[in-house]
């Protein structure tokens, strides 16, 4: 069973999902832009018998509060640490996908003693050319009487994952429309984060993964070279929605890595 709940913080309420199990070190799941904790329900169902899982909506997305100030990755991370404090969670493992991976690195950087292990899916170690390309594709969602903005949003997400099932694209389209201005602001927050510096400074065991067709697939090897405590895994056939479309494979990776059974790979291997 997955329970939905709101957690009060000083800036507003954080919405999330939690499994019934409350034993062991909890695993915090952080979503991509402009999705929500809903993207983790299939993965949570796979792991609910083994782990305490908590998926939170980033401020500005899903059911969480919308920041009144310009959001930063540091702001998102601070809000999540405050939410964990409210739940009396002192330490955790972190799983972050795309923007969620950026937030996970920030959280581990800000409070390294509270993070035991990290799994970063599609780590956004972006070079200037990638940032320019992503920024060029960011368009504010502006409504019009003919509803052209609806089709434009749909087409952008369909282009991101051409083989994804229609219900998944519909879900992500609706979440993007709901996020509104929060969607491009989250991208800018990722662009502004000193991700490489923070990632390189981490000492926790780190698993870096990506689907072979993920939009951030090319970031995998540079992130591994940057982080001396990391190992990597490439998911065959996976895209930017591996948690929705390959939950069993992702769950198997998490079980192995969080149990400490994964063999260490030396940097550059």
Per-residue confidence band for 144, with pLDDT thresholds at 50, 70 and 90 = confident
Tens of pLDDT, residue by residue over 89-120, are 999 999 999 999 999 999 999 999 999 999 99
State the Cα–Cα distance between residues 166 and 163, nearest whole angstrom: 9
State the Cα–Cα distance between residues 104 and 115, nearest whole angstrom: 9
State the Cα–Cα distance between residues 159 and 78, nearest whole angstrom: 33
**Mean pLDDT across the stretch 3-8?**
97
> Per-domain residue ranges for the chain?
2-127+192-258
| Topology given in CATH for the domain delimited by 2-127+192-258 | Rossmann fold (3.40.50)
State the Cα–Cα distance between residues 205 and 200, nearest whole angstrom: 12
What global pTM score does this model have?
0.95
């Amino acid at each position: 069973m997955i329970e939905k709940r709101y957690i009060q913080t000083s800036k507003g309420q954080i919405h999330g999902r939690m499994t019934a199990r409350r034993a062991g070190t909890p695993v915090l799941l952080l979503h991509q832009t402009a999705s929500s904790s809903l993207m983790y329900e299939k993965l949570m169902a796979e792991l609910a018998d083994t782990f305490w899982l908590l998926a939170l909506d980033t401020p500005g997305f899903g059911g969480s509060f919308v920041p009144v100030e310009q959001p930063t990755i540091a702001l998102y991370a601070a809000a999540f640490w405050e939410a964990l404090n409210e739940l009396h969670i002192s330490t955790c493992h972190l799983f972050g996908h795309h923007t969620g991976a950026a937030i996970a690195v920030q959280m581990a950087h800000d409070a390294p003693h509270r993070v035991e292990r990290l799994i970063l899916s599609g780590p956004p170690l972006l070079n200037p050319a990638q940032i320019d390309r992503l920024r060029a594709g960011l368009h504010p969602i502006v409504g019009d009487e003919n509803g052209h903005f609806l089709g434009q949003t749909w087409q952008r997400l369909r282009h991101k994952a051409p083989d994804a099932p229609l219900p998944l694209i519909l879900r992500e389209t609706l979440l993007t429309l709901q996020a509104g201005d929060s969607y491009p602001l989250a991208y800018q927050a990722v662009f502004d984060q000193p991700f490489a510096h923070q990632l390189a400074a981490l000492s926790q065991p780190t698993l870096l993964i990506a689907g072979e067709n993920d939009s951030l697939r090319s970031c995998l090897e540079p992130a591994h070279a940057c982080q001396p405590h990391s190992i990597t895994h490439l998911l065959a056939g996976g895209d930017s929605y591996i948690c929705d479309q390959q939950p069993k494979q992702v769950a198997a990776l998490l079980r192995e890595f969080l149990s400490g059974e994964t063999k260490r790979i030396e940097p550059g291997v």
